[in-house]
Structure 1
């Protein structure tokens, strides 16, 4: 009995059993934790880069809006002037009656006051006498560079019969002067940065006096611009 008591006192408790699979699971958990942390860092970095790109795009967009505000929506009016009219072809008899078709040229200038190119297509000019259309001429398409002025002639065919049939013709012949009026419509566009186009329509109404004695021409014009 005493021997058994001594043996029980010298018996040490065994250490808890830890299997290799449990140790492996701990290592795997630690690796997974590190991996998750790295993924979070990568995601945060991507998010920051996306925010930076979005901010840059937003700033570019705001700059474009500001540029458009000072360009597209601030297009200036072209300046169109008419200086006079010259007889190109056609004759008058002693009674100043024209024979057939008379060719006249109207001297026109156009100044592009914008910082971009102004373009316009075929432009028609109609000439009136005593309120009746007696002829017209066509100007071909043109391009006017920024801050430039072009000058061109509009050649018009005047129908002699319509001119001489007017009640005012004989009176004006006695006064040695014919009073004409012209109407020109220029339908064009301002090209901005070769990307945007802004339509500009110019209408020009003029009164022209053609004096036979002094071959002088007085003009009085009124223009309107629609942008």
Structure 2
């Protein structure tokens, strides 16, 4: 009898401990380790060159814009994110006007990660039919989109495939040759 009573107590304590551990793990993964979207901040966009050429008498326009871009990615998650090489696409009114390669890299857990790149936009009037009116209004708007496929690693133990999507709206102000921007990022598993 004493042996069976001890086994029941030991089994009950073990069951309670297992339940507590499971509850703690569920809380950790649903609240603390719940994936959060990265925050992408364009720290600076330096206009390295801006050249607009009008070919007379055909009224053909050629645009050459060189941007030095310094981006800071804030990873609020408890897992690092390693992504494969990718490309950022720049569009003007729905037309692809530039691509920027992004080399493979890792964004550490709960840290900021800096990315620096140079982007050159070369385009002619076939892609920029609205450029004269935008130029005269003083603002030329671009949209960038980037998809980064990779893996999230939590404590170097748990690994899960993830894809980060980022879209930025860039406004080039012609008169003072400055840039304004707004970015939105999402991570999907």
Q: Same fold (TM over 0.5)?
A: yes
Higher helix share: 1
1:194 to 143, 148, 156: 156
TM value normalised by structure 1: 0.61
Structure 2 Cα separation of the partners of residues 225 and 114 of structure 1: 11
* Pair 1:81-2:41 in alignment: yes
Aligned to 1:12: none
Deviation at residue 76 of structure 1 after TM alignment? 2.6
Contact kept? 1:205, 1:222, Cα under 8 Å = yes
SS of the aligned residue for 1:147 comes to coil
1:146 to 106, 109, 134: 109
Q: Structure 1 residues 211 and 132 mapped into 2: Cα distance closer, same or farther (>3 Å)? A: same
Aligned to 2:28: 70
Q: Structure 1 residues 207 and 138 mapped into 2: Cα distance closer, same or farther (>3 Å)? A: same
Deviation at residue 139 of structure 1 after TM alignment? 1.3
Deviation at residue 83 of structure 1 after TM alignment? 4.8
Structure 2 Cα separation of the partners of residues 164 and 174 of structure 1: 18
Deviation at residue 62 of structure 1 after TM alignment? 7.4
Structure 2 Cα separation of the partners of residues 131 and 175 of structure 1: 19
Aligned to 1:183: 145
Segment of structure 1 superposing worse, 193-202 or 80-89 = 80-89
Q: Structure 1 residues 61 and 156 mapped into 2: Cα distance closer, same or farther (>3 Å)? A: farther
Gaps of 5+ in 1: 1-43
Q: Superposed, which structure 2 residues align to 1:1-227 within 5 Å?
A: 63=21, 66-67=24-25, 70-71=28-29, 74-83=34-43, 85-88=45-48, 91-93=51-53, 97-98=62-63, 102-161=65-124, 165-227=127-189
SS of the aligned residue for 1:218 comes to strand
Gaps of 5+ in 2: 56-60
TM value normalised by structure 2: 0.71
Deviations 1:188-218 (A, max 9, x none): 3221121211233221222111112112212
Structure 2 Cα separation of the partners of residues 209 and 90 of structure 1: 14
What number of residue pairs does the alignment pair up?
173
Aligned to 1:34: none
